[in-house]
Amino acid sequence: MLNCEQIAISRYAKATGKPITTSQQVTIINLNDLNIQELPDLSKFVNAQKLFAANSKLKTIFPANIKLLEDADFSHNELETVPDIASDVLFTLNLSHNRLKLFKIDRFYPHLMELNLSLQRSDYTFDENFNAFLTRNAPKLRKLYLNGVGISTLDLIRDCSLTVLEVENNMISELAQLQFLPKTLQVLKLAGNPVAKVGSCFDFVCFQCPGIILYNGKEWTEKQVEFSGLKYARGLKGKERKGQ
C-alpha cells in the first residue's frame, strides 16, 4: 500500500525546494494521480491549506481533521458520498467527475464559497433537501457548478445567494424554471438545455437577474441587460392586459 503521508511530504519538498521532513511542515497536500481507492486520515497535516487528491480511483476518504484547510479537490474519482472534512475555513470543494448518488452535507461550512458537483457518472439524485443542505450548511456559497447532472428544475437553488451558476447540458426546458435564479447572479451558463433555445430566454434572465454580466460565455453591458429586462417586463404587462 502506498504511504500517502510520505508521498505528500516528498512532493511538497520537491515543489518548494526545501528540506521538508514532517507532515506538520506541509501546507499543500498533493496526492493527485496515485491510482488508489482509499485516502487515509490526513489529520497529521495540521498546517495544510490545500488538498489535491484528483485523478485516482478513490472510493473511500477517511474523515480528516485539518482545521486550516481552505481548498479540496477530489475530482475524477469514484466517490459515492461527500467526504467528511473537518475545517472551519473551507472555501472550495471540487467533487466533479465522481459517482455521487445523493448529495448530503452533514458538516457546517461557514465559509464555503465554491462547490463543483458537475458530471457525476451515476444516477445522481437531487432530492428536496438539496436546497436546505446548501442554505443551512453552506450559507456563504456563491459559486455552484452543476453541469451535466440531469436536472430539470432550478428549484434546487431557490434560496441560494449565488453569483456564479453553471448548469450546462441538463434538461431544463421551461422558462418558468428561471424564476428560481438568484437575483444576485452575475454569471450564468445555461447552454445545452432546451430552455436556452427559447427566444425570450435571455430577456427572462435579464429580468430575473439584473446584475448579470456573463451569459453563456458572452459579456453583456449594463445597458443591454437593462433593455432586455425591460423588454421582458413589457411583454408580461401586455399578457396581463390581454388576460383582463
Could you tell me the residue ranges of all domains in the chain? Answer: 1-106+123-136, 142-244
Residues of the chain with pLDDT under 50: 244
Instruction: Specify the pLDDT at position 240.
Output: 63
234's grid cell: 413589457
Instruction: Specify the pLDDT at position 239.
Output: 66
Instruction: Specify the pLDDT at position 70.
Output: 98
Predicted TM-score (pTM) of the model is 0.94
Give CA–CA dist 195/200, Å, rounded.
Answer: 9
78's grid cell: 469514484
Fold of 142-244: 3.80.10
Contact (CB, 8 A) for 154 and 180: yes
> 92 CB contacts (<8 Å, ≥6 apart)?
70, 71, 72, 73, 112, 113, 114, 115, 116
Instruction: Specify the pLDDT at position 191.
Output: 98
CATH number for the segment(s) 1-106+123-136: 3.80.10
